[in-house]
Structure 1
Amino acid sequence: MTNFSSANSAHLAAKFRPPSVDQVRVGGFFGPRIETIATTTAHTLLDRCIAAGMLDQVDPDRPNPGLRIPFQNGNDTVSTQMFWDSDFGKSIEAAAYGLLHKPDAALEARIDEIVDAYGRLQDENGYLNSWYQRIEPGKRWTNLRDCHELYNAGHLMEGAVAYYHATGKRRFLDIMARYADHIASIFGPGDGQKRGYCGHPEIELALVKLGRATGERRYLDLARFFVDERGQRPNGQHYYDREARERGRDPSDYHFATYEYSQSHIPVRDQRHVVGHAVRAAYLYSGMADVSTEFGDGSLKPALETIWGHLTDKNLYVTGGFGPSAHNEGLTFDYDLPNETAYAETCAAVALVFWASRMLGLGPDRAYADVMERALYNGALVGLSLDGTQFFYDNPLESRGKHHRWTWHRCPCCPPNIARLVASIGTYLYGEAQDEIAVHLYCDSVAELKTAGVAVRIRQETAYPVEGSVRLTLEPEHAAEFTLSLRLPGWSPQVTIRVNGEVLDPAGVEEKGYAKLTRLWQAGDHIELEFAMPVQRLYANAKVGVDQGRVALQRGPLVYCLEGVDNGEDLNALVLQPQSGFRCEVVDGIGGLPALVTTGWREKSESDHLYTLSAPQRVPTEIRAVPYHVWDNRDDGEMLVWIRAEADQ
């Protein structure tokens, strides 16, 4: 049994931390989505994991861990996979957050059954991995580069922490703490220890969560080791090269050819460019930011800040997705942002939310929070259907009508990933520090926070993102002086701030895109924010050739797209006029969000000839755009984010 001690001095270096998910109750825009996850998606995830054979692989009391079943259209099969533990871990995590929102005895019993199976599977020394215990025994810790061993452990740890927060049950947490202790005995700088790290970063984030939940410094220390060791070449040899030789393989026999794929090409503090597999990249940078925050390690900041700029200035889709290539599920070269073939994996946008949130651990900064919001509302949320049962893996910005959500996927990482993000959204809304509370995202919610030694309840009342009005009411347990930092979204050209009815000049209180309000706060104090939400046209850098002569539409945090169900076929024949005004309109089937409606042109050719000497005719037409994240929830059809637009005269 792990000893759960109080937090220690390592935690004192932390500046801003997100509240645990049980500290925030969420309604408003995300409330119905969390309800759907709690009542539908959580069961759906477990149903499909178990149907695929994951519990058969885990439970030593069950035979046939090599089960195969049909999926999707019955033309393919799912077979046992080395990363299944991670899918179970994320599914448990999503379900745990659902339980916080809405108790469900049947769902809890299902999780307990899975936890019990992992308990029976665990070795006496703490080791726990269904693939290496039941499918390939004897090969543990022999191929960290390719085989997700530590990655799986990380997702199980995160699921255990979430289930502990949701139910107070420690069995899964104890199981994973024992496994973490075993890992710490295997990996480290000591004599006889392995100086390795996972080819798929993730365990770094999980160990920080485990350390925060248990108060045990050793888990934070292990996270720091994995971050510090990555890309090092002790004795002039890369760990993955030595590992390959030890298993009798040529290190050059590597499908991806370069260790940039796993961000292990050079030590992390020397890295300056976002490279390789997009999800692995953002998970690593999240872990780096966590370590920087927990240990007050400023040596990681130059790398983090420069990599962030490289991503957001040259490689980020307008939807907050990134990683254009299906080949490596990741990065290629700067300004390579194709639309129809965009990969932009749902998990990558989810991971970007994680990374941005952790960058905010270093202090409120709109540069990170605005990107977090963009990725959340667009590139990530698109991965989950409104009914909570279907999922996108890759997310193009243009479709000819053949791209649709999956019922399941042969690599089902995205379904539980987007579900756990949405169901835990409360933890991303706020940040707590010694004498400051930050509000990063706006959503109807009630948060129980603590700063300046006092418990503070904050109530947000808002219809955001449909409207830009937000009212926050503070209820400290007694009067206390502290700073309340409120994000001023970069997309809003005009902001009004009132504190107890008194209008403040935003410029007089703004710092790094946040209104910093320091005062003696008393129960009943309230702040009213009004963010102007015009429809904005976004233009791509001229180096992004595919988007020239086109615009993307944005209102508030939402990026919009055209769908064939609203606009007919040939969406590329539609052209926006320079001064077209937009109106908001209610449309069924898009989650209660406004559609944007304007008048433009539709181009029509005079003949069916492929080429002619005559320009197409333009016919006035109504153009209707809907939020990108809700596309493909209604009838099949085309989709387009970057819309042709006549240039201003």
Structure 2
Amino acid sequence: MTTKHLNRIYPLSREKVTIHDAFWAPRQEINRTKTIPYQYRQCKRTGRIDAFHLDWTPGKKKPHIFWDSDAAKWIEAASYSLTHHPDSELEVLVDDVIDLIVSAQQDDGYLNIYYTAVEPEKRWTDLEGGHELYCAGHMIEGAVAYYEVTGKRKLLDAVCRYADYIASVFGTEEGKMKGYPGHEEIELALIKLYRVTQNEKYLELSRYFVDERGTSPHYFDMERQARNHEGHLKPVVGHLEGEDVNKYHQSHLPVREQEHAEGHSVRAMYLYSAMADLAYEIGDENLFNTCKRLWSHLVHKRMYITGGIGSSEKNEGFTSDYDLPNETSYAETCAAIGLVFWNHRMVQYECDSKYTDLLERALYNAVLAGVSLDGEKFFYANPLESKGDKHRSEWFDVACCPPNLSRLLASLEEYIYSESDHDLIVHLYVQSRLQTELAGKKVTIEQTSNYPWEPQVDFAIQLQEKARFGLKLRIPNWTSRYRLEVNGEETDEGVTLEHGYVRIERDWQDGDTVSLTMDMPVFRNYAHPAVKDAVGKVALQRGPLIYCLEQADHEASVFAVELPESSDFQVVFEEDVLNGIAAIEAKAYARTSASEELYQTDKSFKETAIKAIPYFAWDNREDGAMVVWMKEY
């Protein structure tokens, strides 16, 4: 449920869209039948569910400060899955978990495992690192999702009580705390809660948390002093001082004064998502311009070619401009998911294909690499190079990424289309059926494609009666030429190109068809020369997919491969490899050694064949090295 503001567009809800796509539908099915049940078992096994009994005693394993969020994201993923796949057993299981969660709520509305069972006397004393407001945000998102899908209010009513309590604690009024979360999340969650309840208190609380962040006197500086510089975040940022530590959680300046993407990358994405949401809801052009400024800096200075962000494990985030190492890249899965969230919000405010292009890049590469093809192993960090020692894990102590992946995959329907009063906008090319109303008329759109392997997308329009509206189709930044046909014929009538979307306005009739065919060549990407790990190297791309070399396909070491500038590429679809992929083949050369001497005066090569596979599919076979950036000569 989303409100319309200032002629913005708004995403079409999940229940209006059904995916039956050869690429995404199987992944959603694996997510539904394997990953979501698997994650519940992991949450149960590790104590994340039973911790809501609040029966921790000294000597037992302590609940983590963020366990609430793992359970909440699982509820959110399960809720989205129920949209198109009613499952009474899953719904009963979610109800049982919700009953347990609600039983843990305190009389004043407070709801948090750690600060109720372990350190109740320290409630709200470590906003910088305690994750209380972060966990509250995820619980709100889970409650909103379950209510939207099932109509059940138990968890929604509980989080409303919690949000009301939080609003009584924080704010600018006398007697209230002027704090804000160290890990952003509640800001965007409160806007979701506002949209479903229309209670403006929640919108105003979100605005408070955004506007108060980074103001002077600095709240976290005062909080640290009150805690004698102890706290949950000390092991991570204890060595930093002043602005450097505050950059970690984007509180070094008031948000409207920020110029650069700084600090912990997941925190940044959740903050920027909330800023875009808030700008949308209240029509704040200044706040949206801040988002645009931060977006431009991130995209042009601090983002991996896969859409991964955050180059350092030390702070799980950004370092300096162009510092994008390959083997040690962090590129947390949650950060790429956050990048999808942010760009989805940006394009609703300003329908520009650059936001959807980036959403697509992150989704098909940095996000999708985060989960194995069988749906039960996960990457936390996503390197762009490996000696063969990097592998997905079954679970993590800090398990934010697995349920985050699940909730995104289960809600993919809402990222495909948007509407305005006069236009239907297609952002992503995913074979699907859309049923909606536009210009007062019922409209059904059947989108057919074999994307991302093939470049043609077809649309069949079904109408009960003739209707006039605009159909906008994104022209991705990876294509230089496209062909547009209406009812089998090329046409320019009523066709315009607006910010990367081709718009066709006409009187549509039942049975009309539109076909978009794009050039989808293999092309070479080169990094800015300041990216030292990519100097003299090339990365291959076809459509939205970034490719890599995996040792499983090569006799020569992938680190020794050098791709001639003159090499041509052949695209070969291999149905039996990695669940079916389009591989890229080419002739190349591999460095060899004339002797066993460590250092030699001559260099020699041998001709070799290379096969590049989509980056998202790496590490699903035997152990072996991997490179995205290969040498070129």
TM-score (norm 2): 0.94
Q: Could you list the per-position Cα deviations for residues 327-383 of structure 1 after superposition, in whole angstroms to 9, with x for gaps in the alignment?
A: 000111111111011011111111000111110121211111111100000011100
- Cα distance, 1:584 vs structure 2: 2.2
1:591 is aligned to 2:579: yes
Residues 140-539 of structure 1 correspond to what in structure 2 (within 5 A)?
A: 140-233=123-216, 237-249=217-229, 255=238, 256-257=240-241, 258-476=245-463, 478-505=465-492, 509-539=496-526
Residue equivalent to 1:20: 13
CA separation of 1:579 and 1:65: change in aligned 2, threshold 3 A? farther
- Cα distance, 1:436 vs structure 2: 2.3
Instruction: Write the distance in 1 (CA, Å) between the matches of 2:359 and 2:632.
Output: 28
Residue equivalent to 1:71: none
- Cα distance, 1:314 vs structure 2: 1.0
- Cα distance, 1:41 vs structure 2: 0.3
CA separation of 1:313 and 1:65: change in aligned 2, threshold 3 A? farther
- Cα distance, 1:589 vs structure 2: 3.8
Question: CA contact under 8 A between 1:495 and 1:506: conserved in structure 2?
Answer: no
CA separation of 1:581 and 1:207: change in aligned 2, threshold 3 A? same
Residue equivalent to 1:33: 27
SS in 2 for 1:54: coil
- Cα distance, 1:248 vs structure 2: 4.7
Instruction: Write the distance in 1 (CA, Å) between the matches of 2:206 and 2:395.
Output: 32
- Cα distance, 1:525 vs structure 2: 2.6
- Cα distance, 1:126 vs structure 2: 1.7
Question: CA contact under 8 A between 1:53 and 1:65: conserved in structure 2?
Answer: no
Instruction: Write the distance in 1 (CA, Å) between the matches of 2:533 and 2:607.
Output: 25
Identical amino acids, percent of aligned pairs: 46
Question: CA contact under 8 A between 1:364 and 1:485: conserved in structure 2?
Answer: no
Instruction: Write the distance in 2 (CA, Å) between the matches of 1:100 and 1:502.
Output: 38
Residue equivalent to 2:77: 94
Paired residue type of 1:181: D
Instruction: Write the distance in 1 (CA, Å) between the matches of 2:257 and 2:142.
Output: 32
Question: CA contact under 8 A between 1:66 and 1:80: conserved in structure 2?
Answer: no
Instruction: Write the distance in 2 (CA, Å) between the matches of 1:54 and 1:598.
Output: 49
Match of 2:53 among 53, 59, 82: 59
Residue equivalent to 1:602: 590
- Cα distance, 1:394 vs structure 2: 0.4
CA separation of 1:436 and 1:367: change in aligned 2, threshold 3 A? same
Give the total of aligned pairs.
624
Instruction: Write the distance in 1 (CA, Å) between the matches of 2:178 and 2:13.
Output: 32
Q: Could you list the per-position Cα deviations for residues 545-576 of structure 1 after superposition, in whole angstroms to 9, with x for gaps in the alignment?
A: 21122110100000000101111352111111
Paired residue type of 1:335: Y
Question: CA contact under 8 A between 2:56 and 2:118: conserved in structure 1?
Answer: no
Instruction: Write the distance in 2 (CA, Å) between the matches of 1:506 and 1:530.
Output: 18
Residue equivalent to 2:109: 126
- Cα distance, 1:259 vs structure 2: 0.6
SS in 1 for 2:10: coil
Residue equivalent to 2:120: 137
- Cα distance, 1:153 vs structure 2: 0.8
Question: CA contact under 8 A between 1:446 and 1:459: conserved in structure 2?
Answer: yes
Instruction: Write the distance in 1 (CA, Å) between the matches of 2:442 and 2:213.
Output: 40
Q: Could you list the per-position Cα deviations for residues 239-282 of structure 1 after superposition, in whole angstroms to 9, with x for gaps in the alignment?
A: 11233344454899752432111111111111111000111111
1:105 is aligned to 2:88: yes
Residue equivalent to 2:64: 81
Instruction: Write the distance in 1 (CA, Å) between the matches of 2:122 and 2:493.
Output: 60
Instruction: Write the distance in 1 (CA, Å) between the matches of 2:504 and 2:173.
Output: 48
Paired residue type of 1:19: L
CA separation of 1:589 and 1:160: change in aligned 2, threshold 3 A? farther
CA separation of 1:507 and 1:449: change in aligned 2, threshold 3 A? closer
Question: CA contact under 8 A between 2:458 and 2:513: conserved in structure 1?
Answer: yes
SS in 1 for 2:309: coil
- Cα distance, 1:425 vs structure 2: 0.9
SS in 1 for 2:122: coil
Match of 1:42 among 11, 29, 36: 36
Q: For structure 1, list consecutive stretches of 5 or more residues without a partner in the other structure.
A: 1-5, 69-78
CA separation of 1:241 and 1:435: change in aligned 2, threshold 3 A? same
SS in 2 for 1:290: helix
Instruction: Write the distance in 2 (CA, Å) between the matches of 1:458 and 1:296.
Output: 31
Instruction: Write the distance in 2 (CA, Å) between the matches of 1:504 and 1:376.
Output: 32
- Cα distance, 1:442 vs structure 2: 0.8
CA separation of 1:37 and 1:630: change in aligned 2, threshold 3 A? same
- Cα distance, 1:209 vs structure 2: 1.6
Question: CA contact under 8 A between 1:65 and 1:134: conserved in structure 2?
Answer: no
CA separation of 1:461 and 1:221: change in aligned 2, threshold 3 A? same
Instruction: Write the distance in 1 (CA, Å) between the matches of 2:17 and 2:404.
Output: 20
Question: CA contact under 8 A between 1:435 and 1:482: conserved in structure 2?
Answer: yes
Instruction: Write the distance in 2 (CA, Å) between the matches of 1:248 and 1:507.
Output: 67
SS in 2 for 1:220: helix
Residue equivalent to 1:3: none
Question: CA contact under 8 A between 1:475 and 1:525: conserved in structure 2?
Answer: yes
SS in 2 for 1:189: coil
Question: CA contact under 8 A between 1:14 and 1:293: conserved in structure 2?
Answer: no
